[in-house]
Amino acid sequence: MAQVTPTDGRPATSKEVGRRARVAPRVASLPPSGIREFFDLVQTMDDVISLGVGEPDFRTPWHVCDEIIDSLERGRTAYTSNQGIIELRTAISGYLQRLYGVEYDPNSEVLVTNGVSEGIDIAMRATLCPGDSVLVPEPCFVSYSACAWLAGGEAIPVPTRIENGFRLRREDLEAAVRPNTRSLMLGYPSNPTGAVMTRAEMGEVAQFVLDHDLLVYSDEIYDRLVYDGHQHVCFATLPGMRERTILLNGFSKAFAMTGLRVGYTCAPADLTEAMCRIHQYAAMCCSTSSQIGAAEALAHGEGEVQRMVADYDQRRRLLVGALKDMGLDCFEPQGAFYTFPSIRSTGLTSREFASRLLEEERVAVVPGTAFGPCGEGHVRACYATSRENLRLAVDRIRRFIDRLH
C-alpha cells in the first residue's frame, strides 16, 4: 500500500449534506486497496486460473467441522466471554509454549479475535496516539498501513528488496525511524514475498526496538508454513521483546480456517486489557462456533497441519523452479505460500504484467504494488492451488513471456 497521508481534509469522494462531509476525512483519504481493484477486474472474466488467492486450497479439516456441527446441535450459539472461551485461550497458551517456549497467561494475556485482521486493528488502536508513526516494512499485507492510519497514526514504509532476500535490515529501519515513531509492524514469514528471518537477523531488529523504545506488532500468521528446515522465530522469544510485543496469530493459514475468522493476540496483561476494551465494544466476541472449532484444531489438528505444509512445500518447489526456468528472477521463498518473482526483465510494470497476463492468458496474479510501492517490478503468485492448476498456469505464463521476448 502507498504511504497513507492526509489530504487537505476535503475528500473528493464524500458528498456534502448540509454543511458537513458525510464520510470522515481520515476514511475518505484511505487509498483503495490494489487487491480489490484487481479482484473486480478478474470477476469480469471466465476460465481464469487464479494464483491470486491468499488462502489455503485445502478444506478445513473435517474433525474441526464435525466439532462445530456437534456444538451447533447442542445449541452452543450464545455469546462467549469477550476474551474468548477459556478452553481455547488455555489451548493457545499451551500451543505457543510447546512450539516456542514462550508463556502467556490464558486468563490475562490471551485474547481471541476475529482473525488477525481484527488483532492488527485493535493492537494499533490500543497503542497509538494521534501523530504517532509506525514503521511498516514493505512489501507487506495490505492492512498494516491502513490500520495504522485509522488508529490515528501514520505508517512509515521501510522498503525491503529482493537483493537482500526481502529481509528487514537494521540500516533500513534506522533510515526510516522518526522521533514520533511509536512502534514497528512485523510480518514474517512474509505475505507477499515468502521471506523469513533468522534468529540473528531478528536479534538485530530487537536491538533496534530496544534502542528506540518501541512496541512491536508481530503478525506471525504464517509461522507454521516454513520450509527447507527453517525454524520460525517467534519475536516475543527474543531477549527483552516479550514485554514489548503484541503477538498476532490465528487459524486461517496453518489450519485452513480462513472463513471461520479466528485469530488471537498474546501480550502483557496491560496491553491485552486495553485491546480487550476495544474488542468488547466493537466486536463483543469471536464467533462461538469458530472458537470451538479452533480449540479442536489445536487439540487434534497437528497431523493435518504437517500434511498440508509438506504438500505446500512440494508445490512451492514446482512453481519456483518453473518460474526460474522461464528466466524470471525469482527469490527463493522459505515461508507462507507465495512466490514474488521479479518481472522487470519483461519491461512491463507490475500492473501491466498482471493485467496482460489476465487478459491474454487468463491467469491471475497480483501486482506487487498492491503490497506497497516497493513491490513494483514484482507480482505475487500463490501456490496454494492444485498441481493441475499450477501446471496449466505455468504453461500459460511461459507462453505469455515467450511472446514478450
Partner 1 sequence: MADRANLKVDIARILEADCRLSPDEIGRMLAVPADVVAREIAEMEASGAIVRYSARINWDKLDGPERVFAFIGVQATPEREVGFDGIARRLVHFPEVHSLYLISGAQDFDVVLQGSSMRDIAHFVARRLAVIPGVRSTATQFVLQTYKRDGDVLMDAEKPDRLSVTP
Judged by CB under 8 A, the residue of 38, 149, 188, 338 near partner 1 is: 38
Nearer to partner 1, 212 or 324 (CB): 324
**Grid cell for residue 78:** 450464545
Q: From the CA atom positions of the chain, what is the Rg in Å?
A: 21
Least distance CB 223 / partner 1 (angstroms): 18
Q: Which residue has cell 489450519?
A: 255
Q: Which is nearer to partner 1, 45 or 129 (CB)?
A: 45
Residue 157 CB-density burial (10 A; 0-12 exposed, 13-18 middle, 19+ buried): buried
DSSP state of 114: S
- Determine if 100 is a binding residue for partner 1 (CB under 8 A): no
CB of 300 to partner 1, least distance (A): 19
User: 298 Cβ partners below 8 Å, 6+ apart?
Assistant: 88, 91, 92, 94, 95
Total residues contacting partner 1 by CB under 8 A comes to 26
Examine residue 353 and tell whether it contacts partner 1 (CB under 8 A): no
> Between residues 50 and 82, which has the closer beta carbon with respect to partner 1?
50
Min dist CB 172 to partner 1, Å, is 24
CB atoms within 10 A of CB 398: 16
Q: Does 230 bind partner 1 (CB under 8 A)?
A: no
Q: Which three cell numbers stand for residue 23?
A: 464520510
Touching partner 1, residues 188-227 (CB under 8 A) = 191
**Nearer to partner 1 (CB atom), residue 315 or residue 378:** 315
Report 46-85 residues binding partner 1 (CB under 8 A): 48, 50, 52-55, 57, 59
Q: Which is nearer to partner 1, 215 or 256 (CB)?
A: 256
Q: Which whole-number Å values give the CA distances from 354 to 57, 388, 391, in the listed order?
A: 21, 21, 18
Burial 224-245 (b: 16+ CB within 10 A, else e): bbbbeeeebbbbbbbeebbebb
- Nearest CA among 375, 395, 276 for reference residue 38: 375
Scanning 31-39, 152-160, 163-171, 233-241 for contacts with partner 1 by CB under 8 A, the matching segment is 31-39
Instruction: Answer yes or no whether residue 372 interacts with partner 1 by CB under 8 A.
Output: no
Which of these, 350, 66, 58, 368, lies nearest to 225 by C-alpha position? Answer: 58
Q: Which part of the chain contacts partner 1 (CB under 8 A), choosing from 95-103, 136-144, 297-305, 397-405? A: 136-144
Residues in contact with partner 1, shown as a per-residue x/- string from 140 to 159 under the rule CB under 8 A: -xxx----------------
Q: How far apart are CA 275 and CA 86, in angstroms?
A: 17
Calculate the CA dihedral of residues 177, 169, 160, 226 and round it to 10 degrees. Answer: -130
**Binding track, positions 310-349, relative to partner 1; x by CB under 8 A:** ----xx-xx--x----------------------------
Least distance to partner 1, CB of residue 394, Å = 11
CA 185 from centroid of its chain's CA atoms:
11
Instruction: Determine if 364 is a binding residue for partner 1 (CB under 8 A).
Output: yes
32 sits near partner 1 (criterion: CB under 8 A): no
- Are 223 and 249 a contacting pair, CB within 8 Å? yes
Closer to partner 1 by Cβ: residue 273 or 311: 311
Residues making contact with partner 1 (CB under 8 A): 33, 35, 38-39, 42-43, 48, 50, 52-55, 57, 59, 141-143, 191, 314-315, 317-318, 321, 364, 366, 387
